A and B are shown apart, each in its own frame.
Chain A
Amino acid sequence: MTKPLHLILIEILQVVIVIAAAPAFLGWVDMLKCWLQGRTSAGIMQPYRNIAKLFVKDVVLADNASWIFRITPYLVFGTAVVVGSVIPIISTNLFLAPSADIIVVIAIFATARFFMALAGMDIGTAFGGMGASREMMIASLTEPAILMAIFTVSLAGRSTSLLHIVQSFSNGALVLRPSIVFAGIAFVLVVIAEAGRVPVDNPSTHLELTMVHEAMILEYSGRHLALIEWGSMIRFFLFVTLGIACFLPWGIASTDDAGSIAASVFFMVIKAAVIGVVVVLIETGLAKMRLFRLTEFLGAAFLLSTLGVIAFFILE
């Protein structure tokens, strides 16, 4: 902590990478999905084009839209950027990282979700309310599960601070610990739900009645929609990097010379690309679950993460 200016530069670099790379990650996932379905893909850059397109369009606002509806896109985008500044992605020497621990990260995400649900109901259309109620139902199931998974990791890392977790894991030998494996699997299940991917939600559906996330944002347009879409992409990407930080932290730089930062960016790209492949395999091989099957799916995630905690106390 001797060279704050240096740290601020790394911090800025990381935030820029998060904002800029999140659409590419989604583009990568979509591209792989196309290939696996035997189609020609629109390429990794398509999400950028979508965002650019939405930014040049006019905003169509319902007459009865309140300030909640107007503020939510900025809130969704802003919270995503804040979280992007505290998760150690390219370095553990982050200026802002000590300011928030992992529980705060989850809470910030929950705040964004809360406003999104309010905005969904704000206009008063049936779909917005429906989407909001489904989203909150899912949230009530994912949040305990993700917290338990994170407690397991925190117990193993002896801290709730992401920095300490990453450091203690990176320095330790590569040992397969049952508690971490349980928590890791639970985390994957939860991320699928949090990011609204198949089999929990279908991001590419046009069927209003089946939507969860899309139903809440059905009334958004123009730059509002662009910010929400972009925010969701960042959020998806951040869950992936959070997973990397908690379960695959090897390669994240702990020194702040340019070489190790470059190496950790390289590892981050490789790890994200591999996770993209896993996501696509799940999405292509599975149909969307019936809505009320989600309780079983997320119940399993909670059970696994609880097992992780128990396994930690019994075995370690």
Chain B
Amino acid sequence: MNGLANALMASFGKDVVADENATPATFTVPAERFADAANILRESYAFLCAEWAADDTNSGRGYSVYACYRAGSEYLIVRAELSRDNPEFPSLVKHFVPAYRFERQIRSLMGVIPSGHPDSRPWIKFEDWPEDAWPLRKSFDAATKMPRLDGQYAWLRAEGEGVYEIPVGPVHAGIIEPGHFRFQAVGETIINLEERLGYVHKGIEKRFESMTWETAVKLAGRVSGDTTVAHSMAYCMALESMTHSDVPVRAKWLRALFLERERIANHIGDIGAICNDAAFAFMIYQCSRLKEVMIANNLKLFGHRFMMDRVIPGGVTVDIDAAAKQEILTELDYLSEQFDVIVRIYEESSSLEDRVRNTGILTSELARELCTVGIVARASGLNVDCRVHNPFPPYDSIGIVSPVLTAGDVHARVWVRVEEIRDSIRLIRRILGQIPHSPIAARCNTPLPETTGFAAVEGWRGEIIYWLACGQKGEINRCMVRDPSSVNWLALEQAIKGNIVPDFPLCNKSFNQSYSGHDL
């Protein structure tokens, strides 16, 4: 259970200060040994979940840098304190690939320097802002008007005969979020893809710091609109963990109900959209129709199509009665029957199969190396699912079947979704059958100064992590949001290599990562 903690303590000895009361166990190491800790944890088969920095200057200290690891069901945070004048820490890139972007982000937004990081280009922050404007620092006023600069982003270049460059975006022809993709291709074969994200950077992490604990849940619900339930749930659970507040058991079951409904609706939409990118338009219309059935029911039963703001600290805002239960059961019967027909069409369409099989393969090794999460990981043979590894009620009692496929291609990512929809339908039926009676909300305590909270929730894309820190006056000092997209975007760059240019939209859609959740 605490293999990571033991490994860290065994090799660091007196160099490590453990705070076992924090969730998860947090270990403070000297800054210069921050990367050593990563190395040791890597040897214990840990994944890097997130890496972020916090500004503690309001509490009279300097900066701190955090790295969150996971192995099996054990989460662990390694922390290092950095000086105020020279905040620098050894980069983890050598040990964990996803640190590549986390650390670029830390440098760009917090001005904390990862020494030894090979790439000093900004990430999220664009070159038209001055290099030394660090919006996440406490000394940075969010209302500042920045002078616009002329800057150039140094794109990776590929040269040679027949190599040409295709810039795509950030504005696309379809109605999707903005992101820039730059392909280097020889003929139609992609030899490299470089992503540039940050076009929907809204300063969400900074905004959190000016909100109250109660109102911040609304912001969390808007980090990525299609994942509103999972995000607000992760925020609430992090807050509840730091304040040791009890949530009524019925509220927990209702949260799971919302979460599974969100999963089904999004997965169905995705399956249709993936097929549409192979010009198999029949699927998108049928899948959209089914998705709409669910969403319309959400509005009818819970008062919002996406169930936004239905999860609040301490519980939920809407309950279900017997009539609503019956309605959901009828809907599920209809849905599962229709869904089976659609899946059969998908399976029997050989021309579609020809497109989705062996396209955009993310190998198991790469998926492991890049610490991917969620459907992307499960399609590439990684058995990672917070609902299985860190189950909270009702997931501890209703039995999740988390599908894991090994092919890692577009089809595998479709099929993981198909299996998850089927399992989620089963879960909702069990939830409705066994949901216990209790109030649906309780008072959530106010956090004590200098405490931290943490939660990981399996949204439909994958594991969402929130880490909260309370300041000295009881305010939100830092709210770290890690959407699954923050790690999975890296996997897309790798999966597309060697594929042909016209297959990119299909691969991209099968990943379907959030721009908003990544850019924050």
Contact = CB atoms under 8 A, between A and B. Distances in A.
A68 B275 CA distance: 37
Interface in A275-316: 284-293
Contact of B278 (A284, A285, A287, A292): A287
B367 to A, nearest CB: 24
A130 B279 contact: no
Given A287-B275, A287-B279, A126 B167 contact: yes
A99 interface: no
Given A126-B165, A287-B349, A209 B501 contact: yes
B484 to A, nearest CB: 24
Nearest to A127: B166
B188 A210 contact: no
Interface in A21-72: 33, 36-39
A210 to B, nearest CB: 4
Contacts of A199: 279, 351
A206 interface: yes
B505 A207 contact: yes
Contacts of A127: 166
Most buried by A among B279, B280, B503: B279
B352 interface: yes
A205 interface: yes
Interface in A169-226: 198-199, 202, 204-210
B279 A202 contact: yes
A205 B168 contact: no
Contact of A290 (B172, B289, B354): B354
Contacts of A208: 168, 172-173
A288 B166 contact: no
A35 to B, nearest CB: 11
B285 interface: yes
Interface residues of B, number: 31
A130 B352 contact: no
Given A208-B168, A290-B354, A38 B173 contact: no
Contact of B500 (A207, A288, A291): A291
Interface in B267-291: 275, 277-282, 285-286, 289
A283 to B, nearest CB: 8
B357 to A, nearest CB: 10
A38 B167 CA distance: 36
Given A130-B166, A202-B279, A209-B168, A38 B502 contact: no
A38 B292 CA distance: 15
Nearest to B169: A208
A39 B285 CA distance: 8
B151 interface: no
Contacts of A290: 354-355, 359, 500, 502-503
B279 A198 contact: yes
B502 A209 contact: yes
Nearest to A210: B502
B504 interface: yes
A205 B281 CA distance: 10
A287 B166 contact: no
Nearest to B190: A209
B395 interface: no
B60 interface: no
Interface in B188-225: 188
Interface string B115-143: 00000000000000000000000000000
A37 B505 CA distance: 22
B164 interface: yes
B147 interface: no
Most buried by A among B285, B349, B354: B354
Contacts of B160: none
B282 A288 contact: no
Contacts of B280: 286-288
Nearest to A198: B279
Contacts of A126: 164-168
Given A130-B501, A210-B502, A210-B505, A36 B282 contact: yes
Contacts of B433: none
Given A126-B164, A207-B174, A210-B505, A289 B354 contact: yes
Nearest to A288: B279
A153 B140 CA distance: 78
Contacts of A209: 166, 168, 501-502, 504-505
Nearest to B285: A37
A127 B279 CA distance: 19
Given A126-B167, A206-B174, A210-B505, A293 B279 contact: no
Interface in B497-519: 500-505
Given A130-B166, A209-B501, A292-B500, A37 B279 contact: no
B173 A207 contact: yes
Most buried by A among B165, B282, B286, B349: B282
A199 B350 CA distance: 12
A289 B352 CA distance: 8
Contacts of B174: 206-207
Interface of A: 33, 36-39, 126-127, 129-130, 134, 198-199, 202, 204-210, 284-293
**Leading 7 A-B pairs by shortest Cβ distance:** A288-B279, A202-B279, A206-B174, A287-B280, A287-B352, A287-B278, A206-B173
22 contacts: A36-B282, A37-B281, A37-B282, A37-B285, A126-B164, A127-B166, A199-B279, A207-B174, A208-B172, A209-B166, A209-B168, A210-B502, A210-B505, A287-B351, A287-B352, A287-B355, A289-B354, A290-B355, A290-B359, A290-B503, A291-B188, A292-B188
Interface of B: 164-168, 172-174, 188, 275, 277-282, 285-286, 289, 349, 351-352, 354-355, 359, 500-505
Given A126-B167, A208-B172, A288-B278, 15 more contacts: A36-B282, A126-B166, A134-B188, A199-B351, A202-B279, A206-B172, A208-B168, A209-B501, A209-B502, A285-B351, A287-B349, A287-B354, A288-B355, A290-B502, A293-B354
